Amino acid sequence: MEKLLINDWLTSPTIQFVSKITVSDDESYHSHNFFEIFYILEGSITHVYNGKKEVLETNDVRLLRSTKDSHEFIREKGVSCMHRDIIISEQLFKKCCDFIDPMLFDMIVNSPAPLQAKLTQTKIVEFEKSFSERFFVAAEKSFYTREGIGNILTVDLLNVFLQEFQNSPNGFPMWLHTLLPLFSIPKLMREGLDSIIKGISYDKSYICRSFKKHIGCTMTEYLRDKRLDYAVSLLLTTDKTVAQVCEEIGFESIPYFTVSFKNKYSLSPKQFKLKFK
């Protein structure tokens, strides 16, 4: 599908946050060099993004990334829809992400798909009130500048997409809950980190940084610990030799396995097996 690139014609170094309501004449399939957040105010509409199709209804909200996502709206005959489009320059968007969390911008950019959420009707009303009473009205008597109000609205909108992290146990992102059990699968454990993270659609450097932030150790350290736990199981429940256990859990050398095992359990693998089996 041919797409057009919408340049940063609505924002500038002095105007970095713009919004409008669209009821017709949506753009054809396109990408843009700014970030866009939109939510459905009334009705329903077909949304095509990155070649995928979905039907959006009232209160659905999406976040599209600068240059990375392409999309268009398709209006069905006889079906009305009104959506608010919020356009944010990359500079402002990153500044607001950094205010929330230094890793948030990378998380959004490296996400396997545009972020999505569902707004409550109360939240819709709050956003619309902010736009009508604070952003579009002359701020002569207001404490906030238009730029400041744009910052506040961007942070508020970003928080909508962080609910999945706030609602997940321990505050972990959902992809991390998917990732952790993979470290205990013998085949993946033996093959190593690249096989373990293969199904996680994020950049490896981002996964490594996020993992250490949430778990408190590197993925290499975590994998080594899981391998040693599995080694204990093999030593106590099978007749495998130390060399066979070393190979089974994915250690590259017996001396390294022995040193790592002794550091954790204060015994060598052979001593551990003799003492506890």
Are 238 and 255 in a shared domain? Answer: yes
**pTM for the whole structure:** 0.61
Strands (E), the chain: 4-6, 17-22, 30-32, 35-49, 52-57, 60-64, 71-74, 81-88, 115-118
**Per-residue confidence (pLDDT) for residue 97, from 0 to 100:** 92
- Compute the distance between CA of residue 228 and CA of residue 216 in angstroms, rounded to an integer: 18
Taking only the tens place, the pLDDT of each residue in 100-115 is 887 788 878 877 778 8
Provide mean pLDDT across the span 228-251: 94
Instruction: Tell me the CATH number at 17.
Output: 2.60.120.810
Are 86 and 207 in a shared domain? Answer: no
% of the chain beyond a pLDDT of 70 = 87
Are 67 and 199 in a shared domain? Answer: no
* Residue at a domain's end among 141, 167, 193: 167
Are 158 and 178 in a shared domain? Answer: no
- Compute the distance between CA of residue 118 and CA of residue 201 in angstroms, rounded to an integer: 23
Structural domain of 118: 4-167
For all residues of the chain together, what is the average pLDDT? Answer: 85
* Residue at a domain's end among 140, 167, 194: 167
pLDDT tier at 171, thresholds 50, 70, 90: low
Provide mean pLDDT across the span 139-167: 75
Are 160 and 64 in a shared domain? Answer: yes
Provide mean pLDDT across the span 168-179: 71
